[in-house]
Amino acid sequence: MTIRIPVVEKILSANDRLAAENRAALDAAGVFSLNFMASPGAGKTSLIEQTVHALAGKLRIAVVDGDIATSLDADRAAAAGASQAVQINTGGDCHLDAVMLHEALPKVNLAGADLLIVENVGNLVCPASFALGTHKSVLIASIPEGDDKPYKYPSMYHGVEALVVNKIDLLPYVPFRMDFFRQGVEALNPGVITFPLSCRTGEGIEPWLNWVIQQVNLKRNL
Amino acid sequence: MTIRIPVVEKILSANDRLAAENRAALDAAGVFSLNFMASPGAGKTSLIEQTVHALAGKLRIAVVDGDIATSLDADRAAAAGASQAVQINTGGDCHLDAVMLHEALPKVNLAGADLLIVENVGNLVCPASFALGTHKSVLIASIPEGDDKPYKYPSMYHGVEALVVNKIDLLPYVPFRMDFFRQGVEALNPGVITFPLSCRTGEGIEPWLNWVIQQVNLKRNL
């Protein structure tokens, strides 16, 4: 087992080097970028659909979709009106890494984009360990997953700059103690900006959209 | 990157060796064992609670719970009436492996158990690659995760002996095309035995419980 640690460290530092290159390419093009992470089925693709659909007239949004298999998600992003949608299939890998994004970025016309959303593989563990070079990370939690997830997946909750709590329309039908959930979040990521919303009904989506626009504008004015 | 493959192969073959040892220990004790795998929040722990609660008078059930952090799940299994509940904290690892189960098994009194349920880390990717030595694997899917999961996480759907579809009580509130889901399952795992149920309402739980009892009896009669 002693050989595992140095190998992992080497992979990580190569990853961080390429993440820095990705960031530089995005910065040079003036593109703001988000890394969407979540459990399978929490609503990453649905949030992309809603965001692209609502902001299509205001922002040119490119999407890079990571999945083990299929191009279902890139197809959904394109159908919702993303100006560009690129699929990465990881084969069996449980997360995106900076190498994969580095290979995908040349397929994106960055000059024709204001915002790049990268949809990571559905997983509450592995994606937290691999920086991609994106500007901010967003965790999409969802009500039916249950209120104990911050306690059980601390790295993911610790390392993000924004938290979306999706599927609030299901609150009447499942047990979910919002105060217990929030307590867990606060212990790991005090004051993290949080957007309770429903991609399905549209409830609560406006504050999220305003935050996205604000982030893009902040980037433009730098 | 060329160094990655041999290292992974070595880890896997060591894993398979220990998985065989785990299986031998379970067989020697006449204990039937299940490996529960699922996304975070699909209902692994809830299904353990329901199963333990319903079968407590009929079977002596031991539970080994794997999580990144906390003993919340082992606590729930014990509270539901598991005769033994052992927690494994993986630190950051995204799956259980045979080594971890090998270290946990001596803490279980196998002579005092008929059934061992191992609850894997919530993850639809990594656990599929690591045999534990358990007799059968069960995937717990859930309605709010969405109907496209078999297509996006094929290894997991391919490698299990039983499929539970939990949270059917939420079918009226979320879009879920059961035929599309089933089509994806059939392509990967033709005819896999499937239990649509709701841990919350108890609907559909009987066929699942009967299957568990049947599996334990089949093992006893070998």
Alpha helices in chain A (DSSP H): 4-29, 44-55, 72-80, 98-104, 149-152, 154-158, 178-188, 205-220
Rounded-to-integer distance, Cα B30 and Cα B18, Å: 18
Closest residue in B to A3 (Cα–Cα): B7
CA distance readout (Å), A11 to A5, A14, A65, A71, A97? 10, 5, 22, 27, 10
Tokens standing for residue B83: 């005769």
- What lies within 8 Å, CB to CB, of B197 at 6+ separation is B164, B165, B166, B168, B203, B204, B205, B207, B208
Whether the pLDDT of residue A187 is over 80: the answer is yes
* Residues A152, B124: C-beta atoms closer than 8 Å: no
User: Which residues are paired to A139 by β-bridges?
Assistant: A37, A163
Tokens standing for residue A138: 């967003």
pLDDT at B1: 39
Chain A residues inside the 8 Å CB shell of B94 = 94, 123, 125-126
The residue among B1, B39, B203 with the most chain A CBs within 10 A of its CB, best to mutate, is B39
Rounded-to-integer distance, Cα A7 and Cα B57, Å: 49
pLDDT at B8: 65
Tokens standing for residue A24: 């530089």
Rounded-to-integer distance, Cα A141 and Cα A124, Å: 10
* Residues A144, B167: C-beta atoms closer than 8 Å: yes
For the entire predicted model, the pTM comes to: 0.92
Q: How many CB pairs under 8 A join A and B?
A: 123
Rounded-to-integer distance, Cα A15 and Cα A10, Å: 8
- Burial class for B140, CB neighbours closer than 10 Å (0-12, 13-18, 19+): buried
A50-77 confidence digits (pLDDT tens):
999 999 999 999 999 999 999 999 999 9
Query: In the 8-state DSSP scheme, what is residue B133?
Result: S
Whether the pLDDT of residue A2 is over 70: the answer is no
Three-state SS string over A99-146 comes to HHHHHHHHHCCHHHCCEEEEECCCCCCHHHHCCCCCCEEEEEEEHHHC
Rounded-to-integer distance, Cα B60 and Cα B68, Å: 26
The listed range with the strongest mean pLDDT (A90-94, A205-209, B218-222) is A205-209
Rounded-to-integer distance, Cα A196 and Cα B99, Å: 40
A130-167 confidence digits (pLDDT tens):
999 999 999 999 999 999 999 999 999 999 999 999 99
**How far is C-alpha B80 from the chain's CA centre?**
17
Domains of chain A plus CATH, in order, are 4-220 (3.40.50.300)
* Residue B123 C-alpha, separation from nearest chain A C-alpha, in angstroms: 6
A35-46 confidence digits (pLDDT tens):
999 999 999 999
Tokens standing for residue A33: 């970028």
3 state DSSP class of A167: coil
Amino acid at A207: P
B100-136 confidence digits (pLDDT tens):
999 999 999 999 999 999 999 999 999 999 999 999 9
CB B49 within 8 A of CB B199: yes
Sheet of strand A84-89: strand arrangement: A84-89, A61-67, A115-119, A32-38, A136-142, A162-166, A193-196
Rounded-to-integer distance, Cα A20 and Cα A26, Å: 10
Whether the pLDDT of residue A1 is over 80: the answer is no
Select from A11, A125, A145 the Cβ nearest to the Cβ of B123: A125
CA distance readout (Å), B178 to B36, B143, B171, B182, B196? 22, 9, 10, 6, 10
pLDDT at A179: 97
pLDDT at B146: 97
* Residues B152, A70: C-beta atoms closer than 8 Å: yes
* Residue A200 C-alpha, separation from nearest chain B C-alpha, in angstroms: 8
Tokens standing for residue B150: 């078999």
* Residues A68, B152: C-beta atoms closer than 8 Å: yes
* Residues B142, A40: C-beta atoms closer than 8 Å: no
- What lies within 8 Å, CB to CB, of A202 at 6+ separation is A50
Rounded-to-integer distance, Cα B74 and Cα B65, Å: 6
* Residues B92, A155: C-beta atoms closer than 8 Å: yes
CB B125 within 8 A of CB A151: no
Whether the pLDDT of residue B11 is over 90: the answer is no
* Residues B152, A123: C-beta atoms closer than 8 Å: no
Is ipTM > 0.85 here?
Answer: yes
